[in-house]
Amino acid sequence: MPAAGLMSSPNMDAMSQANRRILLAKPRGYCAGVDRAVQAVELALERHGAPVYVRKQIVHNTHVVRSLEERGAIFVEETDEVPEGSVIVFSAHGVAPSVYEAAKDRKLRTIDATCPLVTKVHNEARRFAGQDYEILLIGHEGHEEVVGTTGEAPGNIRLVDGPEDAANIDVRDSAKVAWLSQTTLSVDETTQTVAALRERFPLLIDPPSDDICYATQNRQAAVKQIAKESDVVIVVGSPNSSNSVRLVEVALDAGAAHAYLVDDSAAIDPAWLETATTIGVTSGASVPEELVSQVLDRLADAGFSTIEEVEAVRESMSFALPRELRGPRR
């Protein structure tokens, strides 16, 4: 016979199932900038017909990209892949001025879906560069947003990739240094990086307002609230989504025993759920809600039928459509 204390009964299993719950973070999913960018492609297809070309992924989510491809969007890496005279949409992450020039040379009809908060950082970069400041841009090398911002003032911008990288930065004049940041970073890590830079450059100038976007901050605040009570946190988002990857890191730092990034419900490993009683669920700012619903259905099948929504902050932000798309629909 099994040793005492190791036996289970149907009643015990039922109690275990009954105690299983989901803490669902709010806000989660689409932010105003992503919603605007996706709408831009949809409206461009409606008004101009397929194909409509999109430079890079409009937002960093494989499901969104695939859905738009099915409707007639063609995603390209650079403007020279687009037939002359065609319609091209620039992604939410922003582009350098040289990309606009290349599109103009090919007589492309451009629709700029850059998130207005990214545009704000571009404007700050131009302003600081115009005053001959050296700009320390906190961000991840190769990320499209960083590439676009750097293109605004390549001679004035130095990339700083985290607090450890601050020690490697040298500047021309320590009295003429300012910092900016990629909008999708971890708030805590950015604060640490700025502190490390300020130790080296006490006269470091701050941007006029916080560069980390409201949606990134709000989703990180929400995941912190659910992480401390969760055995496992599941973040819905694609691997190339910076803000989604940061949510996993924030969840672990906030006390979650385990945190995982999944593109969709099919990526959930049943082993993650075996001993858990509380699962936290959130999603990155480029994730449609239907993917979260599918994850909740998958967890319900595993016995997590109780859902408690945890709201960290209310969101009401919205952005106007790109000017090229304003006005009545056809």
152 as an active site residue: the answer is no
Question: One of 124, 134, 144, 145 is an active-site residue; which one?
Answer: 145
Q: Determine the angle formed by the axes of helices 32-48 and 116-130, rounding to 10 degrees.
A: 110
Is the Cα torsion angle 256, 258, 261, 262 positive or negative in sign?
A: negative
Q: How far is residue 232's CA from residue 94's CA, in Å, rounded to a whole number?
A: 34
Q: How far is residue 138's CA from residue 69's CA, in Å, rounded to a whole number?
A: 33
Which residues are catalytic, by number? 145
